[in-house]
Amino acid sequence: MKREQIRKGIWLVLMLLYSIGQVKAAEKVVVAYVTSWTETIPDPTVMTHINYAFGHVNEMSDGVRIDNPDRLRKIVTLKKKNPKLKVLLSIGGWGSGRFSEMAKTDVTRLSFAKSCRRVIEEFSIDGIDIDWEYPTQSSAGISSSPHDTSNFTLLMRDLRQQLGDKLLTCATIASGEYIDFRNCIQYLDMVNVMSYDMGNPPYHHSALYPSEITNWMTTSAAIEAHLKSGVPQDKLVMGIPLYGRGKRGYTTEPDSTQKVTEHWHEQSMVPYFVDDKGELVIGFENERSIGIKCQYITDHRLRGAMYWEYGDDHQEKLRNTICRILMHGENGPYTANYAGNRIRFRTLLIWDPSAEPAHVEFDKQAIRFFHKLSYGEGFTYDVRTSCPTSLDTLKQYDVVVMLNSLPHEKKGRKAFEQYMEQGGGWIGFHATGYNDANTHWPWLNKFLGCGSFLSNNWPPQSALLDVETRHHPVTRTLPNEFVAPASEFYQFSPSPRVNKDVEVLISISPKNYPFGIKDIVTHGDFPIVWTNKKYRMVYLNMGHGDEGFIDATQNLLFTNAFRWVASNKLRTY
């Protein structure tokens, strides 16, 4: 009997703990910035906190000045409709200064902290949000000092002493710089990460994960940077923009005069618009991308989400998505491991087992290379020994990788031409670029953007390569030059460089001349990696022998090329 009672007692305790855990898991914050210069009255049921923007450090650097205080009073009345709503005054914003002067002395810091307390009492608000952009930095046209970081910690200490149990939060740059979190986090209730405005076109400003459409930071990197800096998960709030960023500045939708096409980036998990040249011109958020970010918040046990700004009816669907997932516990669009196990694209590898032995050896190693790559890149692949003769078959694949193998039959050539002309993706190695008088395929020259085979070095040799651009995603992470493993390299005439549609990425350095022992290349332009910008393709001249995958830099080149073609989806079918 006692044993049975003990079992029941344990079961009840476990159920209680489980229910408590479930409640805590659902208690996410949703912080909405509401501005002083707009007239929209927010729906107080779609957020847990409102940060009223903005207050400022006054001209004497010892107190608080509030923009449009009457609007702040109206915002506070929303607490009648939602008694759980918390309203904070956000002090600062881009270009709001005098923080450095205020924080540098005990007297002005204390006076400012007391002024914050007075504002809380006068307006019946729940706390203060400090949006100092940024300590030690004058990029916003404000004064700064090398001592700002340490003074920021002292300011948080003094504010905490004056505010008591009222809320104290701060907004931070995406990289987590300029603030000593390990020393000041004890005084803060939440840290709102401004994980947006992290790039201008052709880069996305709020991508979740890195790819060729990101340059400085991503949202996931911003969260990781803050965690490493000492901000615990239960105080960390992810910033989400409810606006887009284009070449013409901030926007919620494309200009009616712009001819743009919407795309989705599977790697960075964000939507964007491209112009008629295929260039990213506006990065923005939609319900899908915001849902994924909310799922990220849940998966990583973060405190919640913050968004700039509440806005108008254009942002309603986005606000409601955040509310449904984080406040009401609805399921996000993907499971906890969505980023790692979801198949993002399909690849076809084509090789010719009857080709010359050195090419076959490379092809076999290449198949093993892409097999290992598939674990982390989230793709499936099929292997064939000839090119499909049906366009419908090719259309099943996002990327076709030809390993020293080209279609020889008319049906195969026609299907491949249609596939590429309609936006298919292609990576070709070595012999896929071989085209002479006996090939009888003029379209191949047009596609490759170069003339016929001219010459090659022999026997296979290592070569010093010049990386000609660091701006292209394929070569951005490569050094300016590196030594490629031994291979037979083809030279073409005319060179692809004379084609205005071709961007040469890597070439054989002239320092190698004379290049070869039996067959010698003595001079001339010698590109070996390029893309024809009219197609979604990269040609790589490597592909001969058993040393194609022994060099980490060259492997990175192959990986970059594959990622770029796979993610740069421009298909029209």
pLDDT of 345? 83
Q: Residue 203 domain-assigned?
A: yes
Q: Residue 252 domain-assigned?
A: no
Choose one of 323, 340, 357: the last residue of a domain.
340
CATH number of the domain enclosing 392: 3.40.50.880
* Residue-wise burial string across 178-206, b where 16 or more C-beta atoms lie within 10 A, e elsewhere: bbebebbbebbbbbbbbbbbbbbbbbbbb
CATH number of the domain enclosing 172: 3.20.20.80
Q: Are residues 161 and 131 in the same domain?
A: yes
Q: Are residues 335 and 349 in the same domain?
A: no
In total, how many domains does the chain have? Answer: 2
**Domain limits at 443?**
343-567
* Residue-wise burial string across 534-550, b where 16 or more C-beta atoms lie within 10 A, e elsewhere: ebbbbbbbbbbbebbbe
Q: Are residues 414 and 326 in the same domain?
A: no
DSSP state of 386: S
Distance between CA atoms of residues 243 and 122, nearest Å:
33
Q: Residue 347 domain-assigned?
A: yes
Structure pTM? 0.60
Q: Which residue has the higher pLDDT, 337 or 90?
A: 90
Q: Are residues 330 and 458 in the same domain?
A: no
Residue pLDDT, tens place only, 7-66? 555 444 444 444 444 334 448 999 999 999 999 999 999 999 999 999 999 999 999 999
pLDDT of 24? 43
Q: Are residues 311 and 456 in the same domain?
A: no
Q: What are phi and psi of 172, to 5 degrees?
A: -130, 155
Q: Are residues 445 and 536 in the same domain?
A: yes
Least confident of 120-134, 324-338, 395-409: 324-338
Q: Residue 264 domain-assigned?
A: no
Residue pLDDT, tens place only, 305-314? 999 999 888 8
Sorting pLDDT into bands at 50, 70 and 90, what band is 407? very high
Strands (DSSP E) found in 370-415: 379-384, 399-403
Q: Are residues 158 and 226 in the same domain?
A: yes
Structure tokens at 327: 């406040």
Distance between CA atoms of residues 557 and 552, nearest Å:
9
Q: What is the mean pLDDT of residues 495-519?
A: 95
Three-state SS at 523: coil
Q: Are residues 293 and 396 in the same domain?
A: no
Q: Residue 257 domain-assigned?
A: no
Residue pLDDT, tens place only, 458-492? 999 999 999 999 889 999 899 999 999 999 999 99
Q: Are residues 457 and 504 in the same domain?
A: yes
Q: Are residues 394 and 333 in the same domain?
A: no
Q: Residue 269 domain-assigned?
A: no
Nearest to 21 by CA among 31, 13, 29: 13
